[in-house]
A = this chain, B = another copy of it.
Amino acid sequence: MKGQTSFFEALVGQIRLIHGDGPVPLHRPVFEGNEKRYLSECIDSNFVSSVGARVAEFERQIAEFTGARHAIATVNGTAALHVALRLAGVEPGDEVISQALTFIATCNAVSYIGAVPVFVDVDLDTLGMSPNALCAWLDAHTERRDGEAYNKTTGRRIAACVPMHTFGVPCRIQDIVSTCRDYGIPVVEDAAESLGSYVGKRHSGTFGALATLSFNGNKTITTGGGGMIITDDDALAKRAKHITTTSKVPHPYEFVHDEVGYNYRLPNLNAALGCAQMERLPAMLAIKREIAHRYRDFFAGRAGARFVEEPAGTTSNYWLNAIVLDSQRDRDELLRYTNEQGVMTRPIWRLMTGLPMFKDCQHDGLVNSLWLEERVVNLPSSVPEGAFGRLRT
């Protein structure tokens, strides 16, 4: 790239304008609300473990915010995905369609069940699953039997489809759900990164049969570790709570469990942190949006890098801002320069098909995924310290 050094210098200057001097992490949590108070009250209540008022309250807050009828808190986002896939009906030996350009949790959850992922390509603008690629793959590789789709090559049932809202940018979820409906395939939305992202006025994660959120330390809001399953289906919600609570049949003191279950409930201590974080979520989203706009303006008309914007008709939470460089070489030099300057940037994930445990999984040409893998870089996206006051939100 011509004028690369001055471009990198300008970018670091822009990042430091937003995030200040000193080392800049990619995404740090912000605790400027009731976090300490709620943790302290949680200790006073003596309920710190898997039963407690904060768990129910945090679930209510997430249900209200997303518009989902039910929210079930879990110990982390991977656990939420694992359970959501089981609830969607995935069984050992089944196949689950996902994207190769995703965080490892999506595919690990598929593996826990003894199922196998199949990868289709993503769209260049959303970085999320491409409905066209999905449609083409299903058309070429599946046959219908008894209202279900089977892979013609492997003979396995296609039991679920897991698109992801990458970095908070909404994927074309309505087209994906519509295609999957035609094939009798339930959709589990991996909304780990998209709390506060919308398609129209409808929150991401409310289009599929189920969706999962993450409250890991690097997410928009955090519970230390934590996740959530959301769904509008009463029966699925009831079952989600049951199997995440070791499938224990309710009784004041007897221990009867009616199926293999999981110790996957979010502790009340972590939920207390979540409740405080939720109170600041609208303000955080507004600040993150302002940061994204600053990045957008910085990259507007600049050669060598494209800023990943929310597609028309959608709202991104801009969890992690992303740019697409012209080449892998440019990307590597940007990563080297910025990280040397104490400004953390990182490349997008290695494609799942590039990891030893998923390299033999079936996939389409992955043309866009392979192209993006070499070129996408995430930029520091935290809410800056003290920003709540400064930005008058």
A304 interfacial by beta-carbon distance below 8 Å: no
The answer for the CA separation of A111 and B270 in the assembled complex, in Å, is: 27
| A253/B43 in contact, CB under 8 A | no
| B36/A43 in contact, CB under 8 A | yes
| B114/A112 in contact, CB under 8 A | no
What residues of B have a CB within 8 angstroms of the CB of A50 in the complex?
216-217, 225
A66 interfacial by beta-carbon distance below 8 Å: no
| A263/B77 in contact, CB under 8 A | yes
The answer for the CA separation of A147 and B263 in the assembled complex, in Å, is: 35
A279 interfacial by beta-carbon distance below 8 Å: no
What residues of B have a CB within 8 angstroms of the CB of A103 in the complex?
255
Q: Give A20 Cβ to nearest chain B Cβ, in Å.
A: 14
Q: Give A380 Cβ to nearest chain B Cβ, in Å.
A: 12
The answer for the CA separation of A147 and B383 in the assembled complex, in Å, is: 58
What residues of B have a CB within 8 angstroms of the CB of A344 in the complex?
253
Q: Is the interface of A mostly helix, strand, loop or mixed?
A: loop
How many copies of the polypeptide does the oligomer hold? 2
The residue of chain B having its C-beta at the shortest distance from the C-beta of A346 within the complex is B253
What residues of B have a CB within 8 angstroms of the CB of A76 in the complex?
75, 263
A290 interfacial by beta-carbon distance below 8 Å: no
The answer for the CA separation of A114 and B114 in the assembled complex, in Å, is: 9
9 smallest CB-CB distances across A and B, nearest first, come from A49-B217, A224-B267, A253-B346, A224-B269, A78-B263, A225-B267, A255-B349, A48-B224, A111-B260
Using a CB–CB distance below 8 Å, which chain A residues touch chain B? 26, 28-29, 31, 35-36, 39-40, 43, 46-51, 75-79, 92, 103-105, 108, 111-112, 114, 216-218, 222, 224-225, 246-248, 252-263, 265-270, 273, 335, 339, 344-347, 349-350, 355-357
16 pairs of residues in contact across A and B, judged by CB atoms under 8 Å: A36-B39, A39-B40, A49-B224, A49-B225, A50-B225, A75-B76, A104-B255, A105-B263, A112-B260, A224-B267, A224-B268, A225-B265, A253-B339, A253-B346, A256-B350, A259-B356
